Structure 1
Amino acid sequence: MKKIAALLTACLASIALTGCAGSIAKASRSGPGGEGFGFGAEQADVNAIVDRLEPTTITFQPSASSPKSIMADNGLSFKEYVEKRSHGRIMVDIVWGQAIAGYSEVHDALADGRVDVSYTLPGYLPTDYPAVNALGTAMSALPAAQPVSGELIANGSAAELGWNNEQVLEEYADRGLVTLHPFIASGGYYGICTDPLTSLADWKGKQVRIATASQGQVVTKMGASPVSLAFPETYEALQRGTVDCTLGQRLPSAESHIFDVAPNIAYTTKTSFSRTPGAYLAGLTYTKMPLAYQQIVFDAMGESAGRNIATVMKGTADSVRQSRAAKGTIEAMDDEAQTAIGESFKGLVQRDIERGTAAGDIRSTVDEVQAAWTARVKEMDVPDGDLATMDKWYDAEQANFQGYADAITSLPGWRSHRPS
């Protein structure tokens, strides 16, 4: 943490000149520049700046497959913020379902200008983004805790760890990409299975669809066989018995109605499966935008963080509802299984340290950041309860995560990387 503190001190001291982060600093220097504004500035002050700029349209690829998706609010909230904050000078053209460029191609599409802003999954490209994936593996040290507070702690920790990790930021910048949100932890990973798999013995000999290479190695240690399979193919594979279980997030699983064919949820309480790193990135067009426009797009990611978490929570409650309707079980894995998972990931983190893709103090850093976020989330007084009954006690209409968004935009790492 001393290294991080030193980095932030140096960064904050030079922010007026460089904007600090490699990716954002490059964007600010190469773009037209112009007048900017402070975060949280009055709308009238922003209007006075943007009303003198040429109108523009940006192409945005969110994570959702369609405007009717459970996840659609992630994209819609970004569009709403950007268009309102820019006084209508920036129009956002949403392209659903990664129709321009899929996850394997989207980074190239951002760099060459086919897409302006996009949700991406660098976790699908471990050889291109080793430091990003190493951080995802280190995130397995975070216990799942309760369904709401656990996700707030994990996602807040991921954002802070991402902004403070120069290796992660450099991997994006080296490919001509601008970081808007370096690491999105999204929802945790659970065993979503055709039969209940709660003990270590239950997993032996099973075919398990995995999302990351590190998950595959841990599944192997548990005695199961990992299967690398694109998510859209998972439903049919479970239905046909090609795989017995998938390590999946509850939100996209609920959207895909996977619980119709695999209704049993197995979850951890003392450790967790590694998360697939997600990110929001910008590319060529963004670097040529006036400073005020860059700031608006950047701010949109922080301001919409609360609504993004609300979407994850809504999907989680829906997953419980779907599992119950399909007469599935929702149970914690036993101690032996969780110990095997935790020990396996510790070994992978050590491997990343030895390879140089993770800092030697990554374990203590994750622990310190988690402790800080645990305290922050406790002060937010969010609704929480038992996962197995979440569909009963969670009220998506009443939940408010503005406090979480405020915490994200108050992070020194977030503030120091804001274009300036």
Structure 2
Amino acid sequence: MEEYQDAFDDVSEITLLTQTPAPKGSVTGLPMERYFEAVEEWSGGKIKFDVSYSNAVAEPGEADDALTDGRLDIASVLPIYDPSEYPANAALIEAGFISDQSAIDGVLASNAWPNQVAFETDEIMQEFDDHGMVPMVPIYNSGANALFCSQARTSLGDIKGTSVGSGGQAQSAQVEALGGSPSSIPYTELYESLQRGVVDCTVASPTVAVLGGFLEAAPFVTIDPQAGFGLAPGALAFSKTTWDGLPLVAQQLLWDRLDIFVGSNVDDKIFVNNAQMADDVAKFKGGIQAFDEDARAKLQEKNEELLANLAKTEAVADGAAFVQAMQDANDEWNATVAEYGFEDVGYAEFGAWFAQNKDSIDLTEYTAAVMEILSEHRPS
């Protein structure tokens, strides 16, 4: 820190415009807040962030435009909201169901392997560049997606005919395979839609459920470690125009402190929200269950079909090689995180486990491993 602060002695003060997706201090916004605080401290106060909260500057689907028109300098963007503009990104995102869906190891691996693939895929990097962005963390998620419903729905018979909020082509195809009717609803509108019965269920992460406050209306959660839904993750990106105008020492510091964001996204956000989900489900007299075998088999069958279709994608030069790269990276990171020795805790028990173990969770080794991916692209 002292070396960085000394290096900033002759640097003029830099103010960066940004926003977080949640109210100030909310666990969902903490990864960004803690990252900003670390950068400010390590720069000796020379880099400051003008932070707007709860997506006050731009709605999630418009954040990429805000980065290019000057309203924001650094922000979370959602390429999955516009797959025609980001087809290679969308292909990577839609394969997220291949990840282990478990509450600890699955969370860790699923926030690592997609970044490895993203940085190695020229088409993905080019899409960011074409849209005037520098990807800092090309892809990060808020945990595995689950089916949140107003009543227990774990079998094909339970789900048949239900209206289900979904995001992205993969999720919609999965909902249809289970017999539901997909409906595209921004996550900011899910609470009202569930409360008013516009939809019976929604596919979302525990983080979105807690942030949106809709567990009271949909306290019955179906989440299956063996059969996952497609994700709708974001990317932490910088305005290329702003980035290119920064001194090298500022670029390097902004890159080096991404370890704070990576670790906090898991420990402060996903784990905390997974625990809160379990507590809220109990409070609202719901339940957390896996799919019945018929629904699990149907979802797994659809996932195999989706993966086969991704191998034919024209979004990258070689779709089959792209799919193989994803599977290899996923296998590699599953093996890596298994070595960390975390317990195999189910989602229903996660709240009690986290309350007992939260002070002893050490993600140092994991964060360092993810930073090895990011550090290869550090400005120099």
Q: TM-score, normalised by structure 1?
A: 0.85
**AA at the equivalent of 2:91:** A
**AA at the equivalent of 1:74:** P
| Secondary structure of the structure 2 residue equivalent to 1:271 | coil
Moved more, 396-405 or 85-94: 396-405
2:192 maps to which of 219, 222, 236: 236
How big is each residue's C-alpha offset from its partner over 1:385-408, in whole Å with a ceiling of 9 and x where there is no partner? 121111111133332322221111
2:348 maps to which of 377, 384, 388: 388
Q: 1:28 maps to what in 2? A: none
Equivalent pair of 1:307/1:401 in contact (CA under 8 Å): no
| Secondary structure of the structure 1 residue equivalent to 2:61 | coil
Q: 2:83 maps to what in 1? A: 126
5 Å matches for 1:28-47? 43-47=1-5
Equivalent pair of 2:161/2:179 in contact (CA under 8 Å): yes
Equivalent pair of 2:97/2:303 in contact (CA under 8 Å): yes
**AA at the equivalent of 2:258:** M
1:345 maps to which of 290, 296, 303: 303
Instruction: Give the CA deviation at 1:384.
Output: 4.2
Alpha-carbon distance in structure 2 between the residues aligned to 1:341 and 1:363 = 19
Alpha-carbon distance in structure 2 between the residues aligned to 1:384 and 1:81 = 32
Equivalent pair of 2:14/2:47 in contact (CA under 8 Å): yes
Instruction: Give the CA deviation at 1:383.
Output: 4.6
Moved more, 249-258 or 114-123: 249-258
Q: 1:407 maps to what in 2? A: 369
Instruction: Give the CA deviation at 1:373.
Output: 1.2
| Secondary structure of the structure 2 residue equivalent to 1:52 | coil
Q: Which runs of 5+ in 1 are unaligned?
A: 1-42
How big is each residue's C-alpha offset from its partner over 1:169-211, in whole Å with a ceiling of 9 and x where there is no partner? 1110011111111111331110001111111221110100002
Q: 1:186 maps to what in 2? A: 142
| Secondary structure of the structure 1 residue equivalent to 2:57 | coil
| Secondary structure of the structure 2 residue equivalent to 1:205 | coil
Instruction: Give the CA deviation at 1:365.
Output: 2.0
Alignment size in residue pairs: 374
5 Å matches for 1:6-17? none
1:285 maps to which of 228, 242, 265: 242
5 Å matches for 1:98-109? 98-109=55-66
Equivalent pair of 2:2/2:42 in contact (CA under 8 Å): no
Cα separation, partners in 2 of 1:185 and 1:162, compared to 1, 3 Å: farther
Equivalent pair of 1:75/1:94 in contact (CA under 8 Å): no
**AA at the equivalent of 2:377:** H
Alpha-carbon distance in structure 1 between the residues aligned to 2:304 and 2:86 = 20
**AA at the equivalent of 1:376:** T
Q: TM-score, normalised by structure 2?
A: 0.94
Alpha-carbon distance in structure 2 between the residues aligned to 1:348 and 1:380 = 31
| Secondary structure of the structure 2 residue equivalent to 1:126 | coil
Equivalent pair of 1:251/1:315 in contact (CA under 8 Å): yes
Q: 2:312 maps to what in 1? A: 354
Q: Which runs of 5+ in 2 are unaligned?
A: none
Instruction: Give the CA deviation at 1:366.
Output: 2.3
**AA at the equivalent of 1:181:** V
| Secondary structure of the structure 2 residue equivalent to 1:104 | helix
How big is each residue's C-alpha offset from its partner over 1:252-282, in whole Å with a ceiling of 9 and x where there is no partner? 2112221111110101222311111310110
2:335 maps to which of 371, 375, 379: 375
Equivalent pair of 1:134/1:357 in contact (CA under 8 Å): yes
Q: 1:322 maps to what in 2? A: 280
Alpha-carbon distance in structure 1 between the residues aligned to 2:231 and 2:198 = 24
How big is each residue's C-alpha offset from its partner over 1:300-324, in whole Å with a ceiling of 9 and x where there is no partner? 2233211110111100010010001
Query: Does residue 138 in structure 1 map to residue 95 in structure 2?
Result: yes
**AA at the equivalent of 1:335:** E
How big is each residue's C-alpha offset from its partner over 1:78-115, in whole Å with a ceiling of 9 and x where there is no partner? 11111112121101121112211222322122123221
Query: Does residue 298 in structure 1 map to residue 258 in structure 2?
Result: no
Equivalent pair of 1:139/1:366 in contact (CA under 8 Å): no
Cα separation, partners in 2 of 1:168 and 1:292, compared to 1, 3 Å: same
**AA at the equivalent of 1:309:** V
Alpha-carbon distance in structure 1 between the residues aligned to 2:372 and 2:345 = 27
Equivalent pair of 2:149/2:201 in contact (CA under 8 Å): yes
Q: 1:89 maps to what in 2? A: 46
Moved more, 371-380 or 222-231: 371-380
Instruction: Give the CA deviation at 1:164.
Output: 1.7
Alpha-carbon distance in structure 1 between the residues aligned to 2:329 and 2:310 = 19
Q: 2:131 maps to what in 1? A: 175
Moved more, 102-111 or 279-288: 102-111
Query: Does residue 308 in structure 1 map to residue 270 in structure 2?
Result: no
Cα separation, partners in 2 of 1:85 and 1:294, compared to 1, 3 Å: same
Q: 1:220 maps to what in 2? A: 176
Query: Does residue 210 in structure 1 map to residue 166 in structure 2?
Result: yes
| Secondary structure of the structure 2 residue equivalent to 1:71 | coil
How big is each residue's C-alpha offset from its partner over 1:201-238, in whole Å with a ceiling of 9 and x where there is no partner? 21110100002122112211221110111222211221
